[in-house]
Structure 1
Amino acid sequence: MSHEKQAALMQRRNFLKFIGKAGLSLPLLQASSLGAGMLLSRQALAADTAQRRVIFIYVPDGTPQGASYSFLPSANLALKTCSQPLESVKDECVFFRSRSDASKGIEIIGGGGHGNSQRVLGAFADGVGGTIDLALEETVGATSPVASLRLGVRTRNLDPVSARWYSGVTDYQDNPQTAFEKLFGGAVDTSPIGARRDKKRLEINQAALAKIKTKLGTYELQRLEQHQAAIEKLKTDIDSTSSSSTPMGCSDPTFNPSGLSADLVDSEFTNLFALQTENAILALKCDITRVVTIQLGTHQSDFGVTGLDADYHTSVHSGNLDFYAEYRTYFSERIAHLIERLKAEDDPNGGKMIDSTLVVQVTDMGDGGSHTGSDAAFMFAGGGNAVNRGTIIPADNHHQLLDTAAEYMGVYGVIKPYDANGPVSGILV
């Protein structure tokens, strides 16, 4: 650990002690923007702390006859029919098997079936206020120009997987060009991105400091003002170096330089996914957001994809496993494309984007044909050296995976847990 990071951690501990003496409870502190601005940003501003990001990607309606039949690899990572497209990136992946039955995938809490697809991101877990992307946007996203980004591919803004209990969050952007314009148009100043994000983080610190001043005695107030003076100096330093803080490609980004068709029709599913992938990666790389959710279609699966006959729902219930598998294999191809793009894209902080981005594949069924909630195909990818990649790891249910994603992002214990047993052991190193 570097001297700078040790100093940052010591300052954090001292500040927490100080807050405790001031009569503010840590849970209250953690649950507020004060927690995001003071606790999380202190870690993010430490010199050698990597910027972590997460992409949740929803694939509806499971996989033919469950993960054990068509998705879950063997112990030596020999892939099944529907996971075969991941061959080139399997060393970046973490597959999950049931702890009680190593031949099967994990359990979806709440079961499978149509409707209530919000369960896949934890909307109905005991004691939580909504899906994990919303919990993350209120913590790690509090200092981002866009707290969390929701992108769709042929969702038509129906049946969102992001929700507060049953109340769906319907701000998904299905149109890649509209999403790009909202991210990089006049609403968000992207020049320079680095300075903008740092300034927003500091604004939250300053607002939080002002809020608690009235609760402090003279001695504590003097110490708080010293902390505020340090923040002001940091703001001056950011202002003086802002001209060099924009990551390459972020000062004047271009939409769709390859000229892909962006028509909002099923036959362009592949192109629409590719364009939304670029939007997601650019938003993460340019520090506009740290949390992205990509939703592929809806739980009803009443959409088609490029080059395949009929719609996905028909394939699931056709009685023809090969037809169903063609669709599900196609979705694995898309996810492999996302992982490959993250592997290829430079991270402004060094390395590649895959080294600091965790991809979380979720689904709402084990076998879509029988609407089961067991033997479900969930998967992680990326995350760099913090993740035990190229493995198959036992887990009980998908709520534990959400807690693991929160742990990766540094907020497990700050946000409410989704499972009483907490994160899955053996994933993070």
Structure 2
Amino acid sequence: MKTQEKNFHNKRRQLLKMMASAPLINTGLITAGVGFANAARAATSVKNVIFVFIPGGAPRGATSVSPDAAFNLKPASAPLEPVKNECVFFGADMNGHGHGLAQTALGGLTRAPKTIDLALGDVLGGSTPFKSIQLGVLSRDTSVSAINSWTRTPVITDPARAFEILRTGSSLYGTGFDQQQKQLSINLRAVQQLQQQLSNFASTRLQANQDAIAELQAELSPGGFGPDCDLQQQSWPTGSINPNDGQQFTRLWELQTNNAVTAIKCGLTHVVTMLMGNDEEDFVATGFNYSYAQAANGFPGSAEYTAYRAYLSQRLTHLIQQLQTNTDINGAPLLDSTLVVQVTNMADTSDNTGINAPFMFAGGGSSIRKGQVLRAAEHTQIMDTVALAVGAYGIIAPYSSQGPIPGVVV
């Protein structure tokens, strides 16, 4: 036993000598890699957030969207039936609402300097090529993402262009990201060298470090999430489509959904913002011969507003279902680790009110208590609830003086 103990201490001294000659390891980067991998998985199952902006609220606000006491859906949200058990419905009063103020949907023009998607991107996007991505369908100049009160982040409305940006993301990483990859590679080689020189007893102590570095490298690499994530070997998967053609709204949304799911699945970002149409609602969607704005303002009649809102609910259902059928690197549905947050800029376009505006959560795995209908005093409480769900509440600036909505995050 003494001989075995002596041999172990000799090996330990050799390990320390080698660590002294490997500056990157000596500065704690292996530990940092393990810490990063563990911290990214700690406390909550929510790792990703997709914000979906539906303009114009809904007829009578959340009243026509939120389920009744038996959790039966209303006409404007009926297409959510296949996924309703994944949802939490909110009615919330907006302390800033209306046309031209779309950024209030994500907490802009409130207490915090940035909208929540950009703020979360700063926290969650340190190891991804893109801190956040903004995608839209017929969204024109509208953006709900803002770095301050009035400076908004551009939205990509052409799905082909969005795919190309994702596909060539390696050229957009920047020197900091490339250096991080290089350091991880050096650390991994150093650990492998150390393992060859240590006894089995000591070697097992290094295995955790090696596994953590390899896992982190896989998450940092766009090609590390399986063959379908090697985007640099792929080309745009569909033919030409006019991104300004309203009759193609359904197809455009499907393509942008594919882009969003790919970005999350392949570790290109943890935060995506998606816009259905624009702030002024003057778009015509598939199957309609009048605009959303016309329907919301009583032309041809009030039923058309509900029909339009139901159509947009169907697009939201498509996104949620795609997250159910696509899996992460561990084979689990992406919806388990992704929180979908539907937001809006007012309660009801027809009377331009901000009282009882419709918001919604979907997904989020075991971290979210689903199957609820809740009322929030301020819509900014929903922003704080999202921050709490991803473990960022108290790290980013709060959006509401009242804090997160109780009983949502487990």
* TM-score over 0.5 for the pair: yes
2:91 maps to 1:109:
no
Cα shift readout 1:153-205 (whole Å, capped 9, x = no counterpart) = 1112x131111333232321100010000011264589xxxxx89946978xx
Structure of larger gyration radius: 2
Cα RMSD (Å): 3.2
Is the 1:202–1:235 Cα contact (8 Å) retained in structure 2? no
In the other structure, the counterpart of 1:408 is 389
Amino acid at match of 2:165: K
SS of residue in 2 equivalent to 1:306: coil
- Aligned residues of 1:302 and 1:311 also touching (Cα < 8 A): yes
The one of 50, 59, 67 aligned to 1:73: 67
- Structure 1 distance, partners of 2:394, 2:171, is 31
Q: Is the 8 A contact 1:89 1:336 kept in 2?
A: yes
Instruction: Give distance in 1, aligned partners of 2:215 and 2:118.
Output: 32
The 8 Å contact of residues 362 and 379 in structure 1, kept in 2 or not, is answered as yes
C-alpha displacement of 1:427: 0.7
Q: How far apart in 1 are the matches of 2:238 and 2:365?
A: 29
Aligned match for 1:183, one of 155, 166, 169: 166
Q: Which amino acid aligns with 1:44?
A: A
- Decide which of 250, 274, 278 is 1:294's aligned counterpart: 274
The residue aligned with 1:63 is: 58
1:243 and 1:328 map into 2 onto residues whose CA distance is: 36
Q: How far 1:283 sits from its partner (Å)?
A: 0.5
Aligned partner of 1:9 in structure 2 is none
Give the corresponding residue for 1:94: 88
Structure 2 CA distance for aligned equivalents of residues 421 and 167 of structure 1: 24
Unaligned runs of 5+ in 2: 1-31, 188-207
Shift of 1:44: 1.7
Distance of aligned partners of 1:236 and 1:263 in 2 relative to their CA distance in 1, 3 Å threshold:
closer
Find 1:251's aligned residue among 222, 230, 242: 230
Answer whether contact 2:335 2:365 (CA < 8 A) is retained. yes
The residue correspondences of 1:186-335 to structure 2 (distance < 5 A) are 187-188=170-171, 199=180, 245-252=224-231, 254=234, 257=237, 261=241, 263-318=243-298, 320-335=301-316
Change (3 A) 1:414 1:38: farther
Residues 338-390 of structure 1: per-residue CA shift (max 9 Å, x gap): 01111111111231001000000001111110110012110000001111112
Cross-structure match for 1:84: 78
Aligned-partner Cα distance in 1 for 2:387–2:409: 11
Alignment-mate amino acid for residue 108 of structure 1: M
For structure 1, list consecutive stretches of 5 or more residues without a partner in the other structure.
Answer: 1-35, 97-104, 191-195, 207-229
SS at match of 1:334: helix
Partner of 2:12: none
Of 403-412 and 275-284, the range deviating more from structure 2: 403-412
CA distance 1:255–1:366, change in 2 (3 Å): farther
Identity over aligned residues, as a percent?
39
Cα distance in 2 for partners of 1:322, 1:354 equals: 32
2:338 maps to what in 1? 357
Q: Determine the structure 2 residue equivalent to 1:44.
A: 40
Is the 1:202–1:231 contact (alpha carbons within 8 Å) kept by the matching residues of 2? no
* Cα displacement (A) at 1:254: 4.2
Q: Hey, what's the Cα distance between the residues in 1 that align with 2:182 and 2:109?
A: 31
Instruction: Determine the C-alpha separation between the residues in 2 that align with 1:348 and 1:232.
Output: 18
Matches of 1:329 and 1:115 in 2, distance apart?
A: 24
Letter in 1 for 2:254: A
> Would the aligned equivalents of 2:338 and 2:363 in 1 still touch at CA under 8 Å?
yes
- Confirm whether residue 118 of structure 1 aligns to residue 97 of structure 2: no
